Structures are given as C-alpha cells and as structure tokens.
Structure 1
Amino acid sequence: MRVFKTKKELKRHISALLSQKNKIGFVPTMGALHKGHLSLVDMSKKENDFTIVSIFVNPTQFDKKEDLEKYPRTITQDLSLLEQINCDAVFLPSVEEIYDQDVSSQAFDFDGLENEMEGKFRDGHFDGVGTIVKAFFEIVTPTNAYFGEKDFQQLQIIKKMVEKAQLDVQVVGCPIFREANGLAMSSRNERLTVAQRNEGSMIYETLKSVNKKIASHSLSDIQNWVTSEFEKHPLFELEYFVVADEATLKEVKNISPGKSHRAFIAVYADSIRLIDNLSLNN
C-alpha cells in the first residue's frame, strides 16, 4: 500500500495509472475508520482497478471549533486497517498541502439543497464539504467516488456539485453500515459512553417505526410522536426530525404517490451529534 503526502507525488502516480487506462476508485474520509468506511473501500476495489483512500480532517466543514478539536484522529490504526484489506493507496495530506495559507471555503450554490436540514443547523458546513471534495476530485481525478448514505444530504450535494462543475466522476452512494444494535456507524460513536452507545439503537428503531406509521398516520402526528419519544429519553435530545423529498431534500407535509421520500433525524448525546436516515416505503 502506497502512502502519498503531497499532491505532486500522487498526481505523478495517477498519471501513470491513467496512461494504462486504469479505472480509479476514490473513498474520501476524515479517518477514525470503521467498518462502514471499509465497506466503501471494498466496493471500490470490486469496481475499479486501483483504489485511493484519503484521510484528511477538513477544518472548513466544522462549524464549531470544539468539534474539530475533538474529532478522533487514529492514523496508525487507520493505515493498518486499510493495509489489511489491501487498499492500493492512501492520500494523507496536511492542511497546508491542501489549502496553502488560505484555510477558507469557496462559496457554492447547490440549488437550495444546502439550505435544508443540516444546512439550517451547521453554518457554512456544505461550502466546506464542497470545497474539499472538489479539490480532491481535481487532484485524484477518480473514475468513481464512494460515499455512505448516512450523510444522504451530503451525497446529494456532492452529486449536484459534480453536475454543476461538469466534473468527470461518477458519485456512488453506498448503504448505511450499522452496528449490531442498528446505530449508524460513525467515527463519533467512539466518543459515546457505553450507555449512550447501547441506547443509540433507539434512533434507528424510531425511524423504522416511522416507516410503519406512514401508511396510517399523518406526518404531523408522526412528528409529534417522534418529539414525544425523545422528550421522554434521558440520554438523547432531538435536534430535528424531517420527512423530505429525496430529490429536493425539502420537507414535505404529505406523502406524494410516485415520489421517493426519506426520514432524516439528528440527535445529541451530550455534545456528540448523531445523524441517521431511512428511505420510506410509498
């Protein structure tokens, strides 16, 4: 497994691969890798000739400095995990390598996708995401790039960015990888207490209950029920619960036949923010 720390080194290697018409798969991560990340790497390895994983904690997508500082950094363990599954290469740049002296975001227009859900609670987050993903796409020039559906809004925004910037990359969404109790895998889970992690099953169970209730309850009643469930729970605080149109990400008041809908949720366990989502049956 090759480890590249500079754009120049990596581009030189990629140029040689492309000259042989290799398909390049790319999995961008912020490290603290878990089985969800590794499942993306596995998919990339199946669909491409060469797979590159980036590990980079991107400062411009954190709206809270405290969250950036506390984000887990486990480089040695991450590299070991990637080596075990025969990843081809890792891009491990510094902040200076990516941003030079200007650690700031570009401003993006994602046709309004950025104003829904996460965008209402995380100021500037998606500009940061767009900035780093666009930069990595331009450095790596992948054939296919893989993202988990846990961050479904981010996935849709990256697809929109690729479309508007006319980048030659296929963005592939991959199913949410869950812990045994249903909690969506996340690097942030490492910061949870044992009780919070065990009780975290409630988040996914709530979404599954919503899916069952859709056929016989109004979305207003379901919203009230979800709010009530979290008000009763001692370990979690609900930030938002939204049922939205998958294409526009706009909240809906009623389920429309023939359209795809998804339930989205964000929950706090003390200062740790957890998100999840579930596609709803029409």
Structure 2
Amino acid sequence: MVIIHAAPELGEFLQNLRLGGRRIGFVPTMGALHDGHASLIRCAKRETDVVVLSIFVNPTQFNETADFTNYPKTTDADLNLARSEKVDVVFSPQVADVYGNEMRTEPTDYGSLTAAFEGESRPGHFDGVVSVVRRLFNIVRPDVAFFGEKDLQQLAVIRHLAKLEFPELEIFGCSLIRDDDGLALSSRNTRIPRDQRSHALELYKALLEVAEASKSSGSLQAAIDRNLTRLQRNEHIELEYFAAVDSKNFAVLQSEETSNQSFAIVAAVVAGVRLIDNCRL
C-alpha cells in the first residue's frame, strides 16, 4: 500500500497506472473508518483494478465548528483497515493540497436536490461537499467513484455533479451497512452513550414500519404520519425530518405509489449526535 500526501505526486503515480491500462477506483472518506467504509473498498476492489482511498476531513462541509473539532480522527486505525482491505493507494492531503491558498466553496444549486432536507437542515453543507468532491475528482481523475447509500441525498447530489461536470465518470452507490442491532454504521456512532443507543434505534424502527406499510395500498401516508408523530413526541429525539421521497430528485412522494427509487428518510439528534438513515420502500 502506497501512502501519498501531495496531489502532484498522486497524479504522476496514477498516470503511470493509466498508461498501463489500469482502471482507477476512488473511495473518498473523512477517516474514522468502519465496516461501512470497508464495504465501499470491497465494492471498488471488485469493480476496478486500482483502489485509491482518500482520507481528508473537509472543513467546509461542517455547519458547526464543534462538529468539525469533535469529528473522530483515528489515523493509525484507518491505515490498518486500509491495509487489511488491500487498498492500493491512500491519499491523505492537507487542506492546502486540496484547496490551495484560499479555502472557499462555490454556491451549489441543484434545485430540490440541494435545497430540501439535508440542504435545509444544514445550510451550505452541499456547497462544501460539492466543492471538495469536485477538487478530489480533478486530483484523482478516477474511472469509478464509490459512495455509500447511507448518505443518500449526498449520493444523488454527487451523481448530478458527475453528470454535469464529469460525464465519463461512473458513480457507484454501495448498500448501506448496519450494525448487528440495526443502527446504520456511522463514524459518529462512537459518540452515542450506550444507554442512549436504544433511542437512536427508534429511527430505524420507524423507517421499517413505513417500508412495510408501503407494500399495502393506502397505508404509506398513514404510516409516515403515525411515525412522524411518535418520533416528535420522544423526548430523547430531536427530529429534523421524516419523509418518503424520490431519491432521484428528493421530492416528497405525492402518492401511495412507490418505485425502486422511493425511500423513507430520517434525520435526528440523539444524545447530541446527529444521525441520518434511510430505507428503500
């Protein structure tokens, strides 16, 4: 496994591989790696010849300074996981390597994709996401980039970015990975006190009930309303949103009919930790 910190060095290294006909896969992360990230790496290993894993905590996508400061940094463990999953290249840049001398973001307006839900709850978040992903795509120049379906709206935003600016790049969505008790894996889960974990699991239970109701005609909206009320009344949960959407554009479903693009989505704060989750309907 090669560890590279500077963008020019990475570009030269990968160019030599491209000239040899190798297909480059890219897994961008912010570190604090877990089994969900490992599943992305395995997807990349199956689909491409060379896997580049980036570890870069992007300061421009955090709305709260404290959230950025408290984001877990586990460099040694991250590198050990990367080695065990046989990553070919780890790209671990400094802020200046990605943003240059001026750390700024460009406003991103993809309609409801960037305005609703995460866009509304976290103003400017997608400006930061799109800015850093655009820069990383330009540095790595991958053939395929791999993102998890846990960050479902982010995946849709990045698909749109690629369609507009990187038409030759394939965006590969990998399945959401859950812990044994059903909690969606997240680097933030380590901050949930053990005695509060059951409250976090209420989010997944609500999603499952809506998914089950979607199989019966006329039951979807009633299940959404019922679980929305239940979560709002739970004093341990600060609910931000709970809805059924079309994952292509993140418009709220207007009928009981669903497709393979229909998802129930939720965001909430439990024990001071912001959690998001989703479930296909």
TM-score, with structure 1 as normaliser: 0.94
Structure 1 residues 13 and 194: CA distance shift in structure 2, 3 A: same
Deviation at 1:234, TM superposition (A): 4.1
Paired residue secondary structure (1:9): helix
Matches within 5 A, 1:78-157: 78-157=78-157
Q: Which residue of 2 aligns with 1:240?
A: 241
Q: How far off its partner does 1:175 sit? A: 0.5
* Aligned-residue offset at 1:216: 5.0
Q: Which runs of 5+ in 2 are unaligned?
A: none
Tell me the equivalent position of 1:45: 45
SS at match of 2:252: coil
**Cα shift at 1:196:** 2.2
Aligned-residue sequence identity (percent) comes to: 37
**For 1:98-122, what per-residue CA distance to the aligned partner results, in whole angstroms no more than 9, with x for missing partners?**
1122111112232431011100110
Measure, in 1, the Cα distance between the counterparts of 2:6 and 2:197. Answer: 37
Is the Cα–Cα contact under 8 Å of residues 181 and 198 in structure 1 kept in the other structure?
no
Mark the runs of 5 or more structure 1 residues left unpaired by the alignment. none
Query: Is 2:217–2:256's contact at 8 Å kept on the other side of the alignment?
Result: no
> Could you say which residue in structure 1 is the equivalent of 2:272?
271
Which residue of 1 is the match for residue 71 of structure 2? Answer: 71
State how many pairs are aligned.
Answer: 280
2:194 paired residue number: 194
Task: Please identify, of 69-78 and 251-260, the stretch whose mean Cα deviation from structure 2 is larger.
Answer: 251-260
Q: Name the residue aligned to 2:58.
A: 58
Which residue of 2 is the match for residue 8 of structure 1? 8
Q: 1:35 — aligned with what?
A: 35
Within 5 Å, give how 1:212-251 maps onto structure 2: 212-214=212-214, 215-217=216-218, 219-251=220-252
Q: How does 1:167-182 map to 2 (within 5 A)?
A: 167-182=167-182
Contact 2:260 2:280 in 1 (8 A): no
Post-superposition shift, 1:39? 0.5
RMSD between aligned residues: 1.6
CA–CA separation in structure 1 for the residues paired with 2:232 and 2:111: 34
Post-superposition offset of 1:199: 3.9
Provide closer, same or farther for how the CA distance between residues 258 and 83 of structure 1 changes in structure 2, counting only shifts above 3 A.
closer
**CA deviations over 1:178-209 (Å, ceiling 9, x no partner):** 00011000000011101223443222121111
- Once the two structures are superposed, residues 47-80 of structure 1 have per-residue CA deviations (whole angstroms, 9 ceiling, x without a partner) of 1111010000001111111111111111111001
Measured after TM superposition, the shift of residue 256 of structure 1 is 3.2
What SS does structure 2 have at the residue aligned with 1:277?
strand
Matched residue SS, 1:200:
helix
- Give secondary structure in 1 for the equivalent of 2:209: helix
Contact residue 52 and residue 90 of structure 1 kept, 8 A: yes
Question: Offset of 1:84 from its aligned partner?
Answer: 1.4
C-alpha contact (below 8 Å) 1:245/1:259 kept by paired residues: no
Q: How far apart, in 2, do the equivalents of 1:46 and 1:253 lie?
A: 38
Farther off after superposition, 31-40 or 208-217: 208-217
CA spacing shift, 1:259–1:72, aligned 2, 3 Å? closer
Residue type of the partner of 1:210?
Answer: V
Letter in structure 1 aligned against 2:176: I
Q: Give the CA deviation at 1:123.
A: 0.6
Separation in 2 of the partners of 1:60 and 1:234?
Answer: 31
SS in 2 for 1:173: strand
Structure 2 CA distance, aligned partners of 1:164 and 1:79?
A: 33
Tell me, in whole angstroms, the C-alpha distance in 1 between the residues paired with 2:94 and 2:206.
40
Give the letter aligned to residue 128 of structure 2. Answer: G
Cα deviation code 1:197-225 (max 9, x no counterpart): 34432221211111122325555433331
Counterpart-to-counterpart distance in 2, 1:216 and 1:228:
21
